[in-house]
A and B are shown apart, each in its own frame.
Chain A
Amino acid sequence: MIADAIKAGALMVVAALVQVSLASTIEVAEGHPDVVLVLVIGIALLRGPVFGAVVGFWAGLVLDVVSLETLGLTSLLLTLVGYFAGRLGDVTTKSSAHPSLVAVALGTIGFGLGSAVLHFMLGSTISAAEFFVGVLLPSLALNLLLAYPLYGLCRRIFQPEPRERREVSPAV
């Protein structure tokens, strides 16, 4: 568990640097690929909601620091994404070799909408059409493209846990 935490922490630092220095420059319309988001979802799918939430919080914190964003903003969103992706992983793809594209799609949409709402509350606005067509759709497509390679990376670093046996009714 501690080894996993150290690996995840280091991976998120590297991912945040890659996100800031490379991924944010890859622009399709107004959307960018989100390496950190996809990795958080991948780890959460493999390790469950607690680990997902903690990794999400840490990743958001690192991202906010290295990009000088409002501290806590990305942490809040990635914590929720990690938690819900972990819950989804518990019931679906915890040991699957394929990433749950549904999880990546839902995570991207949730993160995008949450980010828009939070930024709106903090005073930054963007038109709905520009957000959905220019930002969300390209980001969704790019993140889905990233899903397979990054989930493969996650599986190599964090070996999937064996699926626990379901509780059965006591013998009568």
Chain B
Amino acid sequence: MPRQRTARLPVLDAPARRTEGLSPRTTRALRARLVAAVLVLVSLALITVYFRESEDGTLHGAQRIGLSVAMPFEVAGERIARPFRDAWGWASDLVGAKDDNEKLRAEVDNLRQQVIQSQTAVSENERLRAELKFIDGPSFPSGFEGVTTRVVGRPPSAYSQEILIAAGSSSGIERNDPVVTKDGLVGLVTDVTSNGAQVTLLTDQSSAVSAVVLESGAAGIVRHGPSDTSALILDRVSKDELVEQGDLVITAGWRSGKLESLYPRGIPVGTVKSVGQQDVDLYKRIQVAPLVNFDSLAEVIVLVPKNR
């Protein structure tokens, strides 16, 4: 029995009309729902039967027949589509190659870091071996123990010729202990904490070391040069002394009664770079090139007296 609907009209006293049957829109909507419901049910039935039947069942057979009919078209479609697919694959591979490239670059960066660390370790190892050899060797000053330590701080400007080292009073270091490398004299400890110390370099304006020229025995004082911060001069050498370019300058290590030099004798300081003299001067003008490269100090050895 069709549903009866009453049309309510907004006018008083107007006779109410009753439509006979459903409107076309309602009918169409119901038909659409019915069709959709039937198709959904058919689909569900297909799924159910497809799952329940064996591989040789009707639906599987029909599907295989359908596929065999469609197969030539599929093959043709595949051939037509192949260039497009190849183009897409090429583009995808290109994107993949870009990703691979980024990954490999990251890996190269990582490996480069490892190589740098390894090379640094090798270099440090070689330096420490050389210093150990120097400490154990005959050129190491007698009566001293060597405390090998790392340079942890450098002068913030060219005006401050000081470095900080990572060993202090806990390692037996005190003020005025000389500091060397295997190459030669570095400077003097001027301040000490428990785990660190300040070393004033030989190139500082306040530094002065009594020294002799190894070849001739000419004595003088090595101190900071007048202009260049890294240059040294050997001052107070009499004009009578014979000093030549290339001569080695070492610490004098003098002793006078109870007084003695802060530096033991025989530590290399530098080589004579140039020698000059004028009639008006009292002493020779001798420039000394330091043996130690003060710009690249990494480890130093503090000479701690054994009898302290």
CA distance A50 to B35 in the complex (A): 6
Residue from B23, B35, B59 in contact with A54 in the complex, judged by beta carbons closer than 8 Å: B35
Q: In the bound complex, do residue B77 and residue A79 qualify as a contact, i.e. CB atoms below 8 Å apart?
A: no
Contacts of A122 in B (CB 8 A): 51
Residue in chain B with minimal CB distance to A48: B32
Judged by a CB distance under 8 angstroms, whether A143 is at the interface is no
Residue from B17, B28, B50, B78 in contact with A72 in the complex, judged by beta carbons closer than 8 Å: B50
Number of interface residues of B (CB under 8 A): 40
Q: Which of A13, A66, A80 has the most CB of B within 10 A?
A: A66
Binds A, one of B65-73, B107-115, B155-163, B168-176: B65-73
Q: In the bound complex, do residue A68 and residue B85 qualify as a contact, i.e. CB atoms below 8 Å apart?
A: no
Judged by a CB distance under 8 angstroms, whether A162 is at the interface is no
CA distance A56 to B11 in the complex (A): 47
> How many pairs, one residue from A and one from B, have CB atoms within 8 Å of each other in the complex?
108
Q: In the bound complex, do residue B32 and residue A26 qualify as a contact, i.e. CB atoms below 8 Å apart?
A: no
Q: Could you tell me the distance in whole angstroms from the C-beta of A90 to the nearest C-beta in chain B?
A: 9
Whether A53 touches B43, Cβ cut-off 8 Å, given contacts A18-B77, A25-B81, A25-B85, is: no
Q: In the bound complex, do residue A66 and residue B66 qualify as a contact, i.e. CB atoms below 8 Å apart?
A: yes
Judged by a CB distance under 8 angstroms, whether A73 is at the interface is yes
Judged by a CB distance under 8 angstroms, whether B280 is at the interface is no
Q: In the bound complex, do residue B63 and residue A53 qualify as a contact, i.e. CB atoms below 8 Å apart?
A: no
Q: In the bound complex, do residue B39 and residue A22 qualify as a contact, i.e. CB atoms below 8 Å apart?
A: no
Contacts of A86 in B (CB 8 A): 32
Q: Could you tell me the distance in whole angstroms from the C-beta of B265 to the nearest C-beta in chain A?
A: 77
Q: In the bound complex, do residue A76 and residue B44 qualify as a contact, i.e. CB atoms below 8 Å apart?
A: yes
Q: Could you tell me the distance in whole angstroms from the C-beta of A80 to the nearest C-beta in chain B?
A: 7
Q: Could you tell me the distance in whole angstroms from the C-beta of A89 to the nearest C-beta in chain B?
A: 12
